[in-house]
Structure 1
Amino acid sequence: MGAALMLYRVRPWVLALASACGALSAHAGLLDDDEARRAILELRQQRAKDTESSNAKLSALNAQLDQVKRSLVDLNAQIEQLRGDLAKQSGQNELLARDLSELQRHQKDLQQGVDERVRKLEPQTVNLDGKTFQVEPEEKALFEDALAKLRQADFAGGAAGLAGLIKRYPATGYRESALYWQGNAQYGLRNYKEALVSFRALLSQAPAHARAPEAMLSIANCHTELKETKAARKALDDLIKNYPDSEAAQAARERLASASTAAAKAQARKN
């Protein structure tokens, strides 16, 4: 009975305490929920800020990337323009190089033409029949043209050409050789007396000339053709006397020996 009474007395207090504890627990639960909500809100706000910041940075990066892309496009355009300019410049350089080469070739041709014309006007050194001398281009052309005609057996043309050379250039270095060949041309035309004049002029003007022995042999030939036997023999004797070592002198000896043999045979036939 006493225990029951005590329990009865204590129960309200316990109940009150339990009720208080329950209230405290409920209040504590309410506090935990508010803090959680605040934490969640703060977290959401922070995440929103972070997202906004990230979006801002991303937008800035995209803007920078767009700028870089535009810069690359501009750079590529500039590169292509530069390539085009270089190609154009290269083409111009090749054209200039060709023009320069053509100009240099033309200049070289002009210079060669000028040099050729100058050479044709300048005196030339000639070595003929053991004699070296200077001649004018026209002078040389006249002599060579006359000899060319003689080689073609055009004796009249050759004689006229040599006569014209001597008349136009009386002091020409070709004079002695021209007289010799003029005499041969006249001999070919059977103008023996005129040939004698030409050959004797050579001997008179240049007795030491390389053609002098042949000229004297030709004089003997002219006398032979003119039936001037004594004059022919004298010319052969003079040739052997004046030019004993020449080929013409050897020919003169053979001719005289042959003539002597022929004369001896003739005399023998008479006897």
Structure 2
Amino acid sequence: MKKLILLACLFVTPLHAALFEDTDARKKLQEMQLKEIELETRIVNLEAVVKSGSLNDMLNQIELMKQDVSKLRGDIETLRHLDATVEQRQKDLYQDLDGRLRKIEEKSTADSPATTNKVTETPPTPEIKAPSDQEVFDQASVLLDGLKNKEAFQAFTDFIKQFPNSALLPDAKYALANAQFNLKNYKATIGTYQKLLDQHPDFSKNPEALLGLANAQIQLALIPEAKKSLKDLIKKYPKSDVIQNAQKRLKVLESIKP
């Protein structure tokens, strides 16, 4: 029995393999048949396109497009060449213009160096002219005439310090003594008049200075000194305009009993 079973198995196995191989072959055959049908269909379609003339139209359009592309490429090359030419011309013009400008600048610098230096130099600061001794004296005199005695006193004091060699120095000292007298600073008045008489013996207003000196001495009750000043005035300047005033005051002082 076992032998029969073994024999059956031996016959069954090759049969199964043969059946399997036959199935694969059929599948491949069917696939090839389908491809054949597909190719035949594509051939028919191509033949229809050729017969309808569509393919020729497409070919013609493609050819025209190739011509347009070729023409466009030619135009592009022409533009590139033109652009390169224009750019080179611009560079040449710029270099030429730059060279001409440099020559002009060099020539201008060589021809007018003084003008260039003049432009760069800083203009000098205008000097402020100081007032003259006459102007300062006149300003101080206005203060004295306006009875601004304090301001006049300071103005003439400054004048004497500022212009020690001025020809108006005696006039300034005389005016200063008058301002001091108006301020009732009689002691300072006496000192100023005395300096004026000692330092400027030829001053034209010395008669008035002696009379002013005597008046300041009278204010301080310096009677002997006042008498002496008046006597000097009468003796030195007998033709002075103030001689009558000096005589009257001397007469009054002599009438005072010590």
> What TM-score do you get using the length of structure 2 for normalisation?
0.48
> What TM-score do you get using the length of structure 1 for normalisation?
0.46
